[in-house]
Structure 1
Amino acid sequence: MTNVVLFMSDQHNPRYSSIHGHPVVRTPHLERLAARGTVYDNAYCPSPLCVPSRSAFMTGRYVHEIERYNNCKLIERRDPSYGSVLAEQGVHTCYLGSASNLYRNPFHLGFSETLLMTATERIVDPDAVRRGVQEPREPKTDTVHGPEPDRFAEDRRYIDRAVEWLQHTAPELDQPWTITVNVHPPHPPYTAEPEWWEQYEGAGDLPEHGIDEASAQHPYTQDLRHRGAWAFTEDVVRDVRRSYYAMISYVDAELGRVIDAVDAAGLAEDTVIVYTTDHGEMLGTFGLWCKTSLYEDSIRIPIVAAGPGFTAGERVSTPVTLLDLQAALFHATGAQRPQDWRGEALQTLEAHDPERMVFVEYHGHGPRGSGFAVRKGDWKLIVNVQAQDQLFDLANDPDELVDLAGQYPARVAALMAELRSICDPAVEDLRASEFIARQLAEIDRLRAEHGPTLRRIPWSEATTSVP
């Protein structure tokens, strides 16, 4: 049995890191971790939105199974977390940082120890819950970007606590343990402390593929652009991308501090260290920003794991997801995972398995309906319930510029069968719509009780439980 340090950032597209060949973004500590362990080149999130993705990771279930469709958490479920299940089996579990996950009250996480960023949460406006494309918006020509003093102060505080825990608490434990460390960057706002911003002077570039590409004209893509109404000037685009690069280098430096703490405490021989994130970032590709798309930039994530059970210097091409990473925590600590949880432990998978399929879904705000993606071998099918489906050959078209669905109907049918082995897309689209209608009803009720803004409401006053 071994221990696990899980370091999770927010919204890191793996394309923007030196371990994946980016010519500008410097991530020396990710390189250091990769040299000690395994890089998963085709890792995916369960859903390209914070709360759905983290909820699936926390509970080991698909998003549609736990009905955590969007970032609105007014209707609560109490599915057990991996931290609580591990703790019940004698694994000491510690959780630091953001609790953007399944629970309206983050103190219901069930970990042995928790240190959270906040005890309140914003209530999401209904226009941001789903199908926000119905109302026209003025083009957004700017966003918060550039240098910002103390931008990382809160994250630095949590890393300080993690280092302290690894130095003083972990060595004294007489049982296996896990510590989950969360940082907010490179999630927006697109700002960075001057020290990091200045490192990328002149590095702000433009996306390689913009709104003239065929994939940018797909109805779901246009829905997302319409909702965001992104119309940044070229200078803003360059500065936003520069800020994103700077944030990634900051996160990398904090990862280095955590690795150093493990080594200094003499824990490395019996400890798995993992770096990952919750979803990617479009960063202007096809005119899209943030996440919520099923294109690769939005759903691919970094997973790098080092320690017992992982081969040093290995690159794995087999598609995997955060659910497989969650299963790896149980494998490492020797605990039993609930049989109905999804995913397989990373340590047990073949390095190059062309037959393994992974599944991603999105039901949140922006597009007119639910979307699903399946990846198997070199092929990826995107099923857009209320628009045409898309098929991409990622080996020859990694940037998803050419939709081959019309040319390979048999391939589409085969991948559709894989998807239907998990769920019926039309049925899940309807279920999501009905659930979100209940969320909107809750928002209307709370508005009547608390006023129109709903900026912040105490947990006890904004929680509806679902069995």
Structure 2
Amino acid sequence: MAPPPNIVFFFTDQQRHDTVGLHGNPLGLTPNFDRLAREGTFLKNCFSCQPLCTPARASLQTGRYASQSGLSAGVLSAGSRTLADHFNEAGYDTALIGKWHLAGTDPVPERLQGRYASWLGSNTPDLSSGVYGCRLYDKEKNAVDLPGYRSDAYVDAAIRYLSEPRENPFFLFLSLVEPHQHNPQDSYPAPDGYRELYSDRWTPPDLAAMEGSAARQLPGYYGMVKRVDEGLGRVADALKSMGMLENTLIVYASDHGCHFRTRGHEYKHTCHESSIRVPGFIHGPGFLAGGERPEMVSLVDLPPTLLDAAGLSVPGEMQGQSLVPRLRSSISEWPGEAYVEYENPTGTGRAIRTGRWKFAVQTDQRELPEAGCADEYREAFLYDLEADPWEQENCIGLEGYREVAEQLRERLLKRLEKVEGKRPTILPPLKVNFSGQRKIARESGEL
């Protein structure tokens, strides 16, 4: 019988899906991501379930959507069961290195560390230290200053952890800050010399078509992505050199994307692809040669997938779905859409993203009931991603799209009822003034 796999979760912050070569980026930023994804299982359609740091992380740690995760005022309840709880009980050594952002305070008190046995973290490291002169805290809240550029410092710490002698398998959650902006300066500070490599280079079409901060900030952002990918390669090299790569799952994802202020004042917070679509792969035993997967995979699906891949039972309270049975057979029971919760300065929204369509509803309520779901929403967005992949034209309210909108509304209501236990009222969109004829031509079949 094969030994249980080790697991390294390589988690980035605010990384757009189209920063990687497999999603069409032409700049060669991610040779290590592309190689490992090709060798393993490339999650082509990987989505955040909440495009904001704290709620996305709550979902990833608990396997539940943010509204149901036990998150309140930016703090994950000490009683919420995390990935560390499940792997601790299975005899794994568990460790977190890097950003936590689920405690509301720094240093993070032990009761809010998610029961990770080994801890070298910070709640908000982009506020507690810079990209050079990195500071984290140990389990007893002692400051630990790490040399080097921040993502390198985290990777160095991870490699030290991986090289420690141990008898048990390990689950390491390596949580980077990059390529998130550095909050005190509202900038994307790449390592020295890296920003200059990407000045006046390729701009994604959605950013090129809309006003925002991309022209000023993309070069630094790309430089950060490049250095992060180099760190990924170093982790894989370390595992290979220690003879552990063949029995280690490397999982890659990001908490959300970045729209560079094209969809509002902030960088995420919306239902658009630039906010919710993220790069993802799983490499290692059971996932090698898995190919490019078309399924709509949510961050909330990754916890049950990891437990299942480690031979552990998936608890009933997890709301995601394991990919393992899907990869091992041709079963068809997989949701045809990704479900997304989001909030922004104007209110709170719920959305579904199918293979072709994006449909979202919003309410102006910022504070929802504890159960998470509002009583009433209004239709807000409808995008035909086949005809308009960069989401330049919102079709909500156009008469020719009414039938599609009604079908998607019903699908969203079913997801709301399943996730949040409530079937709210969804009001029609505000009136759209549009002259001329317009009607969607579509083949029969699934949306």
Picking from 194, 203, 209, the partner of 2:201 is 203
CA distance 1:246–1:408, change in 2 (3 Å): same
Moved more, 98-107 or 240-249: 98-107
Query: Secondary structure of 1:319's partner?
Result: strand
* Residue 61 of structure 2, aligned match among 41, 58, 62: 58
Displacement after TM superposition at 1:408 (Å): 2.9
Superposed CA RMSD in Å reads 3.1
Is 1:417 matched up with 2:407? no
> Displacement, 1:75?
8.2
Q: Does 1:116 align with 2:95?
A: no
1:103, distance to aligned residue in structure 2 (A)? 7.0
Pairing 1:314-333 to 2, within 5 Å after superposition: 314-333=291-310
Q: Distance in 2 between matches of 1:282 and 1:246?
A: 17
Aligned length: 377
Is 2:340 aligned against 1:360? Answer: yes
* Structure 2 counterparts to residues 369-384 of structure 1, below 5 A: 369-384=347-362
Q: How many angstroms apart in 2 are the aligned matches of 1:245 and 1:352? A: 39
Corresponding residue for residue 303 of structure 1: 280
Tell whether the 8 Å contact from 2:263 to 2:270 is kept in structure 1 after alignment. no
Task: Output the CA distance in 2 between the equivalents of 1:411 and 1:422.
Answer: 17
SS in 1 for 2:193: helix
Structure 1 residues 110 and 148: alpha-carbon distance in aligned structure 2, compared to 1, 3 A threshold = closer
In structure 1, the residue matched to 2:98 is: 97
Q: How far did residue 11 of structure 1 move?
A: 0.4
Deviation at 1:362, TM superposition (A): 1.2
Matched-pair contact (CA < 8 Å) for 2:11–2:254: yes
Tell me how far 1:385 sits from its aligned partner. 2.8
Question: In the alignment, what sits opposite 1:3?
Answer: 6
Q: Output the CA distance in 2 between the equivalents of 1:188 and 1:428.
A: 37
**SS in structure 1 of the partner of residue 68 of structure 2:** helix
**Distance between the aligned counterparts of 1:428 and 1:68, measured in 2?**
22
Does the 8 Å CA contact 1:355/1:377 hold for their aligned counterparts? no
- Secondary structure in 2 matching 1:181: strand
Tell me: CA distance 1:208–1:121, structure 2 relative to 1, closer, same or farther (3 Å): closer
Counterparts of 1:332 and 1:161, CA distance in 2: 26
Deviation at 1:287, TM superposition (A): 6.1
Q: Does the residue aligned with 1:114 lie in a helix, a strand or coil?
A: strand
Q: Contact 2:271 / 2:360 at 8 angstroms: preserved in 1? A: yes
Matched AA of 1:196: Y
TM-score (norm 2): 0.76
Q: Is contact 2:76–2:102 with CA below 8 Å preserved after alignment?
A: no
Q: Deviations over 1:209-241 (max 9, x none)?
A: 215xxxxxxxxxxxxxxxxxx7x5xxxx42311
Provide the rounded CA distance (Å) in 2 between the counterparts of 1:74 and 1:422.
25
Q: CA deviation at 1:358?
A: 1.8
8 Å Cα contact 1:208-1:285 kept in structure 2: no
1:378-411 superposed Cα distances (whole Å, 9 cap, x missing partner): 2221112345422222233211123333333333
State the partner residue of 2:231: 254
Letter in 2 for 1:356: G
How far off its partner does 1:149 sit? Answer: 6.0
8 Å contact kept, 2:31–2:229: yes
* Secondary structure in structure 2 of the residue aligned to 1:194: coil
Shift of the 282–397 alpha-carbon distance from structure 1 to 2, 3 Å rule, reads same
Match of 1:391 in 2: 382
Name 2:159's counterpart in structure 1.
163
TM-score normalised per structure 1: 0.73
Deviation digits for residues 231-266 of structure 1 (CA, Å, limit 9, x no counterpart):
x5xxxx423111111010011011111011111111
Name the SS of the counterpart of 1:422 in structure 2.
helix
Distance in structure 2 (CA, Å) of the matches to 1:428 and 1:163: 48
Q: Distance in 2 between matches of 1:282 and 1:21?
A: 17
Q: Distance in 1 between matches of 2:261 and 2:127?
A: 27
Query: Offset at 1:51?
Result: 0.2
Task: Report the alpha carbon displacement of residue 27 of structure 1 after superposing the two structures with TM.
Answer: 0.9
- Which one of 395, 400, 416 corresponds to residue 404 of structure 1? 395
Indicate the residue corresponding to 2:260 in structure 1: 283
1:155 aligned partner, one-letter code = S
Assess if the C-alpha contact under 8 Å between 2:102 and 2:123 holds in 1. Answer: no
**1:167–1:265 contact (8 Å) kept in structure 2:** yes
C-alpha contact 2:149 2:191 (8 A) present in aligned 1: no
Specify the alignment match of 1:36 in structure 2: 39
Gaps of 5+ in 2: 135-147, 183-187, 365-377, 426-447
Structure 2 residue matching 1:158: 3-state secondary structure:
helix
1:12/1:301 contact within 8 Å kept: yes
2:415 is paired with a residue whose SS is coil
Equivalent residues of 1:25, 1:245 under 8 A apart: no
Residue 352 of structure 1: CA displacement?
11
Contact 2:20–2:279 (Cα < 8 Å) also in 1: no
Deviation (angstroms), 1:25: 5.0
| Higher share in helix | 1
User: Which blocks of at least 5 consecutive residues in structure 1 are unaligned?
Assistant: 124-146, 212-229, 431-467
Q: Which region of structure 1 is more displaced relative to structure 2, 183-192 or 399-408?
A: 399-408
1:427: how far off? 6.9
CA–CA distance in structure 1, aligned partners of residues 274 and 340 of structure 2? 13
Q: In 2 relative to 1, CA 285–122 (structure 1 residues): closer, same or farther, beyond 3 Å?
A: closer
Over 3 Å counting, the alpha-carbon distance change for 1:148 and 1:88 in structure 2 is closer
Deviation of 1:58 (Å): 0.6
The amino acid of 1:383's aligned partner reads: V
CA distance in 1, matches of 2:26, 2:126: 38
